[in-house]
């Protein structure tokens, strides 16, 4: 079998700091089943080496930590001229920076590990919901992957921020686009939830200003294969009311998200390990009938926050 080297993107250091190699290895194992046979460093360049058949290359190329693949022969590294074919320019995910943005590499990892556990009918588009989507990093990744995407965030300013951030890249990259705004339900009521429909080069997403606990109110009978979110950390983002701990909110979400999950679907959450504690979060979801997967990837992301990831299936 071919021996290959996966080049580790330096970008993952800004997502996971000291823990980046552990997180990368965890993603590799969860998504592909491979374990690195060796870790190799040439100066600043870093690689995992493994034996792998060519037909697995596409899977490897879309791992969130992989910058490129090399084939190894006679001790030399030959770069493979291959890349995963994303639907949009990378700037739609990476280009805009804003307060509270979830790291782009972490967000791609959340989608990848989610994809590794779901069971979805072949030929049908994957439906993704981020019920606390902020300015849409998860949703932009979903569009890159060709998913049908929906996002909810309670911040009213988010919709116009998304339009501004996205239009900028449409202009730069001459991407065909359409943005439509409106109100759900009784349009005459001043507090009807507002929505934004964005179509970028044929990729569609809807964003709603609303409450993460109420997806079926906004999307009717639509069912989602993946519910993915980076939860409020309780420091910059408050869960609800005055509380810094989003556990109460999440216990309610654990109930209402079951109603919108497609058969074979999964929930993937990134969360601040201090609040809620992993055990409390799992208990809240198990009480609502979910099963927690063993996957975890704890990593320090800042002085005060250690983040982890949990996957639930129904
Ligand atoms: C960590 S941020 C997500 C950032 C997002 N992934 C991005 O990159 O833009 C968490 C988000 O949860 C939202 N949020 C908190 N409580 C909510 C609720 N009850 N319903 C909807 N959104 C909520 C906050 O407004 C915040 O945007």
- In the chain the domains, ranked by start, together with CATH numbers, are 3-79 (3.30.70), 91-313 (3.40.50.150)
The pLDDT of residue 237:
52
Beta bridge partners of 45: 42
The answer to whether residue 189 scores a pLDDT higher than 60 is yes
254 alpha carbon to ligand 1 midpoint, in Å?
16
H or E stretch at 148? strand 148-153
154 alpha carbon to ligand 1 midpoint, in Å?
7
Nearest partner of 47 among 28, 32, 66, 73, judged by Cα: 66
The pLDDT of residue 26:
98
Report the share of the chain in percent with pLDDT over 70. Answer: 96
Q: What is the pLDDT of residues 81-95, one digit of tens each?
A: 999 999 999 999 999
H or E stretch at 50? strand 45-51
Average pLDDT, the chain: 95
The pLDDT of residue 186:
76
Rounded distance between C-alpha atoms, residue 287 and residue 275, angstroms: 18
Q: What is the pLDDT of residues 209-242, one digit of tens each?
A: 999 999 999 999 999 999 999 999 875 555 555 4
104 lines ligand 1 (CB under 6 A): no
What would the mean pLDDT of 116-134 be, rounded to a whole number?
A: 96
The pLDDT of residue 293:
98
The pLDDT of residue 241:
56
H or E stretch at 6? strand 3-8
Helix ranges (DSSP H) in 19-156 = 20-32, 57-61, 91-94, 104-117, 137-144
Q: What is the pLDDT of residues 55-67, one digit of tens each?
A: 999 999 999 999 9
Rounded distance between C-alpha atoms, residue 111 and residue 100, angstroms: 19
252 lines ligand 1 (CB under 6 A): no
- Ligand 1 pocket test, pick from 93, 111, 153 with the greatest ligand atom count within 8 Å of Cβ, gives 153
239 lines ligand 1 (CB under 6 A): yes
């Amino acid at each position: 079998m071919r021996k290959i080297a996966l080049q580790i993107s330096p970008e993952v250091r800004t997502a996971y700091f000291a823990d980046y190699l552990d997180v990368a290895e965890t993603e590799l194992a969860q998504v592909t089943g491979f374990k690195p046979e060796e870790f190799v460093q040439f100066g600043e360049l870093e690689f995992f080496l493994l034996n792998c058949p060519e037909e697995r290359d596409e899977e490897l190329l879309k791992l969130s930590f992989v910058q490129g693949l090399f084939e190894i022969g006679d001790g030399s590294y030959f770069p493979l001229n291959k890349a995963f074919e994303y639907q949009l320019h990378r700037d739609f995910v990476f280009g805009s920076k804003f307060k509270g943005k979830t790291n782009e590499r972490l967000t791609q990892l959340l989608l990848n590990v989610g994809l590794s556990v779901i069971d979805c009918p072949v030929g049908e588009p994957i439906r993704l919901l981020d019920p606390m989507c902020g300015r849409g990093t998860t949703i932009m990744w979903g569009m890159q992957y060709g998913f049908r995407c929906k996002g909810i965030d309670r911040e009213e300013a988010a919709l116009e921020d998304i339009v501004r951030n996205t239009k900028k890249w449409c202009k730069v990259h001459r991407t065909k686009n359409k943005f439509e705004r409106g109100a759900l339900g009784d349009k005459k009521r001043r507090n009807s939830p507002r929505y934004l429909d964005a179509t970028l080069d044929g990729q569609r997403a809807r964003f709603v200003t609303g409450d993460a606990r109420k997806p079926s109110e906004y999307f009717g009978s639509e069912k989602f294969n993946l519910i993915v979110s980076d939860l409020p950390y309780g420091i910059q983002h408050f869960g609800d009311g005055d509380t810094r701990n989003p556990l109460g909110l999440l216990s309610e979400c654990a109930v209402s998200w079951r109603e919108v999950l497609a058969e074979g679907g999964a929930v993937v959450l990134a969360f601040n390990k201090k609040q809620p504690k992993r055990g409390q979060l799992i208990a809240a979801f198990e009480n609502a009938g979910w099963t927690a997967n063993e996957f975890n990837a704890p990593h320090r992301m800042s002085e005060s926050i250690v983040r982890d990831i949990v996957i639930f299936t129904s």
